[in-house]
Chains A and B, each alone.
Chain A
Amino acid sequence: MQSTALAMSQDAGPDAAKLTVEKFADGGIACLRFMGTIDESFEGKHLAATIKCETLLLDVGGVKKISSFGIREWVDFITAASKQAGNVVLVECGPKIVDQLNMVANFAGSGRVYSFYAPYRCDYCDAEHRALLTTDRDHEAIKAMKLGSRPCPTCKDAMYFDEDPTSFFSYLLSQDKVELAPDVEAFLAARLNYAVSDVARKLRVDKLIEGRLTYVRLAGDLDASFPREKLADGLEGPVVLDVTGVGRIEPAGAAEWRGLVQMVTPLVEQLTIVGAGPSFVEKLTRRDDLGAKGQVLTISLPYRCGGCGTSRSQLIDVGQSFDVIKVGKVPELRCAHCKAQMEPAASEAVLAAMGSLPRPTVSAELGKIIAELVGRKIEKKKPMAAAAALAATAAMPPPVVRGGGLATGVVSALVALLLVGGGAVAYRLFTGNSKAALGKVTAASEPTRPAWVPAGTTSALGSCGKTADGLVCVGASAPSPVQDDAIEEARDVALDAVAQALAERMTADAWRNAAAVWQATRTAKLAALEANPESSQARREVRQARRAVASLLLASAGGAVSPTPSARYWEEHTNQDGKEVQAFSRFVVPAAAVERLLESYGGSADVAGATVVNLFPLVGWRYPEVTHGAIVISLGAGRLKELGVAEQFLVLEVGGRKVTGTESLARLLPEEISRLQASGGTLELTVQAGDGAARSFKDQIAKKAAPAVARPQGQGGGNPPSTTNVNIWDRAGGDTGRDDPTQ
């Protein structure tokens, strides 16, 4: 037996800070980040008294311990904070906090949990990990109390959810799905780099035109998907790019940005950047990046108050502070709250980049307009009231669809009516919400409404009809405060209708397996939107799915579908909520092109025992990120089955090479197998299946033995003596690749 005195830990002395609380604030949103131990020393009420905001975000991911008295202090804090802030959201709750939520009444006060960590354990490397889940994206998994295994970040083997789900999810099940307001999501993602939905991180572009000035507001991450051409389209005169909402800047996104600047420099009079954050300044404001006409007017720099400890972004006017900035310094500021001196939180690299900025020149009048535009709130889309049925398109002769209005509750919302008279088939797709009246038309793209524009539509709706010209599809957007946004949505809706019309024409039995990939998801997304038209999450999901479908259709149609609509129309409506634009797009797909598309999408190929078809655009409803691949629609004995591939799986890559369709798969797979048989190695297929991320299916392929070489007589039989560790049985022949001495 060994007994010793407990050695006291030296770092736990009275001076060691038990709990650190960092504060970040921006407009009406504040975030408190807790790190350390919450115990009797935590002054909950005192902290709560310092809070003044509309939305309070509490990041409790760094809480390591919480004692029973700490719980008391915390409950005092959250109770008081709930009164100070209209909306309290807990983010990144660790398992310890989830335990407290489950055990202690009122631990969250009036707050709701947006994201939390689920504990995972990998038995292979005997390590604990945690996975961040959000209550909107992972709502279904939480509801089902089933968290699947995940690949261990260290060894890539499966790790499992290391908690009792019934007790772990008990609190989370009691709260409704939490959806963050877009400004809160933007604050979390762009300012603090928190995990929010992927959609929230996607770049959002709002464009306003004020006289000759074009003002473009960007919010989200700059990555490879940056719409350079689209953004550059139509830019002229003085242009202001507001990058306050730009979050992460990936190298590919930075390259796209530079490309944009190069493209627009000859077209614009002046390119003014406002609200450049530290990351933007560091990466995209060198002389070359700004081009000949570029300048940075304002910089959004985080400052930390030495008095109250709050970090908040401060807008620095480059022109006014130019002399200070030029020498690698930043202006001294005082906290608006407590008047104490504030310290800038900028790296040397940022200060150096700021020092090399050119002095901006903006006329007083323009400066005033820019200030007004920066401060202008671009109205969030209002939920639509109940829509009147889509008067099935004035353009399609004759109106082909009626009825099946919203009251029927047809969620999957595909109504196909065979019109006896005209023999036309039409589709009606309910996807949006609506409101009773859009208000008075105050502007329009044409003096008179074209005949093909459906009357009375107030939601995002698509419809198709077969005419002598071919397939005619019309898409209507939901009303949007941003014109470009409405035009884009109308185009996506129309292209989605084209894809849906094509899917309806696929009659082969095996095709059902392909359609099963997206049908249920599509139905669910549309149902979610119909059930809760005010849900921004549901709207975003439908919108994102349609965008993916449109992109896939254009990418895979081989020119059969034009990327630009044959006709376009928009109307600006004014009502008590302000101005909103509704747009309409019309696509005509010639009959011959339709036949070609049906042949292309419907054509199957047999590959390694499986029947596969080309990726169909509607896959975008389920997998918005997938851009290539082939769908397995039936499966027989063969290499794919041996690998574990099943029907309705999407094969995306073979050995790291992209599968672009059935032909590509039929070529790549045998090629890869032959290559591996020659050298030995692992056959790896990247497959999209289920609702998780794409997975790798692997199979070891042994090096195939070289054919036996006839030896000269009299040299003795049997195998040559081995001088290496090579398996002589495999060398001797046989294609099993096994070490079988009975052969």
Chain B
Amino acid sequence: MLDAVRTHPRLRGLLWTAEPARRSMRFLTESPAISHLMGRRDFETAPRTWELLLVARRLLSKEPVVMPREAFLDWGHTALSATVASTVERDQVVAAVQDKVGALQVPRRVAEMFGELTHELVMNAMYDAPVDAQGRPKYAANRKADLHLEEHERPTVWLGTDGGRLVLQVADRFGRLQRHHVVDGLARGLAGGEMDQSHGGAGLGMMVCHNSAAMLLFDVRRGARTEVTAIFELDLNLREFRTQARSIHYFES
């Protein structure tokens, strides 16, 4: 596949794998034309049709495809949303997400895992995303600081479930997340958890996100919006979830 995307610059690669993401990361690291990992438990398990169609549609479309977050869920789902204006609200939202997931009668560890995932995504949206008028990061230097975000800086958190899937989406209005943030962060974290302390964080947030979701979708409209969507399949038990290959998709428009 690497050869194919090298020789055909317009070709985009989609890697369907049953292997742990750490073994697949080299493909994403080596070739910018591959931004999609589609993980399944094994090759006898059919790929998620909707996932395949989603990626194909996005890759083949010449126009930006707007995909409503409800599209990840079946009819009749329930959803909750919140806007985070401060560090205090961040903690409240994290606790609320954990409570809501716990109320679904899932194992406590899944609820805690989603709490951690929410914390990671909201931290990135609050501290790393906002920039000033000159495009300089406003809050990234000090993650310990208490923040009170301006209206346009406030990320939104959305949690939905249809009983089969649990979807968490955190969005900001800056669109600054880049492919290398995702790929390098994952590659570094999954290779052995070496920290990158060159920036404000530990550089391990991507790894935490990867470990907490069956599927991660990064949808970036450059300079306008970043949406990170994490999907967990409720019909998997934790042991199955641990051993299942994860899906990772990065879209940029």
Binding site for B on A (CB under 8 A): 1-14, 16, 18, 39-41, 64-69, 71-72, 75, 95-96, 99, 103-105, 107, 119, 121, 126, 128, 162-164, 167
Q: A8-B95, A18-B91, A69-B201 are in contact. List 14 more A-B contacts (CB 8 A).
A: A3-B79, A5-B82, A6-B80, A6-B97, A65-B112, A65-B115, A65-B119, A68-B205, A71-B195, A128-B107, A128-B109, A163-B239, A164-B243, A167-B242
Q: Interface residue count for B (Cβ, 8 Å)?
A: 56
Q: Which residues of B contact A39 (CB under 8 A)?
A: 119
Q: Which residues of B contact A163 (CB under 8 A)?
A: 238-239, 242
> Are B92 and A13 in touch, CB under 8 angstroms?
yes
Q: Given contacts A96-B112, A163-B242, is CB(A69)–CB(B96) below 8 Å?
A: no
> Are A7 and B96 in touch, CB under 8 angstroms?
yes
Q: Which one of B8-16, B29-37, B186-194 contacts A? A: B186-194
State how many angstroms separate the Cβ of A149 from the closest Cβ of chain B: 14
Check if B180 is an interface residue, CB within 8 A of chain A.
no
Contact with A along B114-144 (1 / 0, CB 8 A): 0110011001000000000000000000011
**CA A590 to CA B243, docked complex, whole Å:** 64
**CA A75 to CA B201, docked complex, whole Å:** 13
Check if B89 is an interface residue, CB within 8 A of chain A.
yes
Q: Which residues of B contact A7 (CB under 8 A)?
A: 96
Q: Given contacts A40-B143, A164-B242, is CB(A75)–CB(B92) below 8 Å?
A: no
Q: Which residues of A contact B194 (CB under 8 A)?
A: 105
Give the residue of A9, A18, A67, A128 whose beta carbon is less than 8 angstroms from that of B92: A9
Give the residue of A12, A67, A107, A167 whose beta carbon is less than 8 angstroms from that of B120: A67
> Are A6 and B81 in touch, CB under 8 angstroms?
yes
Q: Which residues of A contact B222 (CB under 8 A)?
A: none
Q: Which residues of B contact A167 (CB under 8 A)?
A: 242-243
> Are B120 and A68 in touch, CB under 8 angstroms?
yes
Contact with A along B87-112 (1 / 0, CB 8 A): 11101111111011000010111001
* CB-based nearest A residue for B190: A103
Most buried by A among B89, B91, B242: B91
Contact with A along B158-179 (1 / 0, CB 8 A): 0100000000000000000000
Q: Given contacts A99-B211, A103-B193, is CB(A5)–CB(B92) below 8 Å?
A: no
> Are A162 and B238 in touch, CB under 8 angstroms?
yes
Give the residue of B70, B89, B116, B243 whose beta carbon is less than 8 angstroms from that of A65: B116
**CA A467 to CA B194, docked complex, whole Å:** 69
**CA A78 to CA B114, docked complex, whole Å:** 26
Check if B237 is an interface residue, CB within 8 A of chain A.
yes
Q: Which residues of A contact B87 (CB under 8 A)?
A: 14
Chain A to chain B: the 8 pairs with minimum beta-carbon distance, closest first: A72-B202, A9-B95, A104-B193, A8-B92, A6-B82, A12-B95, A68-B204, A68-B205
* CB-based nearest B residue for A6: B82
Give the residue of B81, B89, B202 whose beta carbon is less than 8 angstroms from that of A68: B202
**CA A71 to CA B204, docked complex, whole Å:** 8
> Are B80 and A68 in touch, CB under 8 angstroms?
no
Check if B253 is an interface residue, CB within 8 A of chain A.
no
Q: Which residues of B contact A71 (CB under 8 A)?
A: 195, 202, 204
Q: Which residues of B contact A162 (CB under 8 A)?
A: 107, 237-239
Q: Which residues of B contact A5 (CB under 8 A)?
A: 80-82
* CB-based nearest A residue for B207: A103
Q: Which residues of A contact B61 (CB under 8 A)?
A: none
**CA A66 to CA B112, docked complex, whole Å:** 10
* CB-based nearest A residue for B82: A6
**CA A159 to CA B204, docked complex, whole Å:** 33
Q: Given contacts A67-B119, A71-B195, A163-B242, is CB(A1)–CB(B95) below 8 Å?
A: no
Check if B197 is an interface residue, CB within 8 A of chain A.
yes
**CA A164 to CA B204, docked complex, whole Å:** 22
State how many angstroms separate the Cβ of B127 from the closest Cβ of chain A: 9
> Are A1 and B201 in touch, CB under 8 angstroms?
no
State how many angstroms separate the Cβ of B164 from the closest Cβ of chain A: 15
**CA A72 to CA B239, docked complex, whole Å:** 27
> Are B195 and A72 in touch, CB under 8 angstroms?
yes
Q: Given contacts A6-B81, A6-B97, A9-B96, is CB(A68)–CB(B108) below 8 Å?
A: no
Q: Given contacts A64-B112, A96-B112, A103-B193, is CB(A72)–CB(B92) below 8 Å?
A: no
State how many angstroms separate the Cβ of A126 from the closest Cβ of chain B: 8
> Are A69 and B143 in touch, CB under 8 angstroms?
yes
* CB-based nearest A residue for B93: A6
Give the residue of B123, B144, B204 whose beta carbon is less than 8 angstroms from that of A104: B204
**CA A121 to CA B240, docked complex, whole Å:** 14
Q: Which residues of A contact B159 (CB under 8 A)?
A: 6
Q: Which residues of A contact B197 (CB under 8 A)?
A: 72
Give the residue of B80, B200, B208 whose beta carbon is less than 8 angstroms from that of A67: B208
State how many angstroms separate the Cβ of B250 from the closest Cβ of chain A: 19
**CA A11 to CA B92, docked complex, whole Å:** 8
> Are B91 and A12 in touch, CB under 8 angstroms?
yes
* CB-based nearest B residue for A102: B193
> Are B123 and A12 in touch, CB under 8 angstroms?
no
> Are B95 and A103 in touch, CB under 8 angstroms?
no
* CB-based nearest A residue for B191: A105
State how many angstroms separate the Cβ of B112 from the closest Cβ of chain A: 6
Q: Which residues of B contact A68 (CB under 8 A)?
A: 120, 123, 201-205, 207-208
**CA A167 to CA B243, docked complex, whole Å:** 9
* CB-based nearest A residue for B157: A6
> Are A13 and B88 in touch, CB under 8 angstroms?
yes
* CB-based nearest B residue for A107: B193
Q: Given contacts A6-B80, A105-B192, is CB(A14)–CB(B204) below 8 Å?
A: no
Q: Which residues of B contact A95 (CB under 8 A)?
A: 109
> Are A8 and B96 in touch, CB under 8 angstroms?
yes
* CB-based nearest B residue for A16: B91
Q: Which residues of B contact A41 (CB under 8 A)?
A: 144
> Are A2 and B78 in touch, CB under 8 angstroms?
yes
State how many angstroms separate the Cβ of A451 from the closest Cβ of chain B: 65
A–B Cβ pairs within 8 angstroms, 11 of them: A1-B70, A1-B77, A3-B81, A13-B92, A68-B120, A69-B143, A128-B107, A162-B238, A163-B239, A163-B242, A164-B242
**CA A67 to CA B107, docked complex, whole Å:** 20
Most buried by A among B96, B109, B157: B109
Q: Which residues of A contact B79 (CB under 8 A)?
A: 1-4
State how many angstroms separate the Cβ of B41 from the closest Cβ of chain A: 12
Q: Which residues of A contact B200 (CB under 8 A)?
A: 69
State how many angstroms separate the Cβ of A120 from the closest Cβ of chain B: 11
> Are B96 and A67 in touch, CB under 8 angstroms?
no
**CA A75 to CA B194, docked complex, whole Å:** 11
